[in-house]
Copies of this chain bind each other. A is one copy, B any other.
Amino acid sequence: MNDIANKSLSNSQRALQELRRMIFAGELAGGTDHLESELAERLGMSRTPIREAALTLENQGLLELRPRKGVRILPVSAADMREIYEVLTALESQAAEQAALMGYDEEALRHLAQAIGDMDLAIESEDLEAWAEADNRFHAELVRLGNNNRVNAIFNMMNDQVRRARMTTLFIRPVPTKSNADHRAVYDAIRQGDDDTARRRHREHRQHAKEILIGLLEKHRLNHL
């Protein structure tokens, strides 16, 4: 984010966040190969911290270490997106259910309500980027309320990969005017402690989103992003 914050980070950590950034920014495009030494030079450090960062990113499914071919930035295919959405559907539904069981009061659900409100505004002003940001905020907050660190961690990993695809798909997708009805229904169910409805409603919401996305990807022949 800023240089001062970076000063306190180790080189491994800087490498990690820089490589992530480069991947998401498309500077390291999906499907391309890069030598460790090349990346090391580019980030102004030795191969050691680069390797450590690459190891981590490999575990997170963003790239692959292929001996003598360099690190390969993994492309995200339509099939990958299906897998990712299935994981997200399963885990977020679980989070919605758990959130409903937690008995949160209105104050605790403030961020969730805020995100829904922001999406309304974004749709009115037809600001797709603002909508995507608020939508993501809603889902992240929902998962947080689910009160399960592991679900949270996996969500973040998968979400990273979705973000890569979203850049592309956001602008070819229909304005999601309907989806906020789902969000509200999930919110209400959580507020009322109705875990069954929360889970089921969110599940349908995500499943629907998946079908739209996969449909778009296939229609536009976007097989790797």
Contact = CB atoms under 8 A, between A and B. Distances in A.
B148 A87 contact: yes
Chain copies in the assembly? 2
Interface majority SS (helix, strand, loop, mixed), chain A? helix
A127 interface: no
A87 B150 contact: yes
Which has the most chain B C-beta neighbours within 10 Å: A149, A150, A158? A150
A89 B90 CA distance: 9
A103 to B, nearest CB: 17
Contacts of A149: 83
Contacts of A93: 90
A184 to B, nearest CB: 23
A87 B154 contact: yes
Interface bin, chain A: 20 to 34
Given A86-B150, A90-B91, A154-B154, 17 more contacts: A51-B52, A52-B52, A56-B59, A59-B59, A59-B60, A83-B148, A83-B149, A83-B151, A86-B148, A86-B151, A87-B94, A87-B150, A87-B151, A89-B94, A90-B94, A91-B91, A150-B158
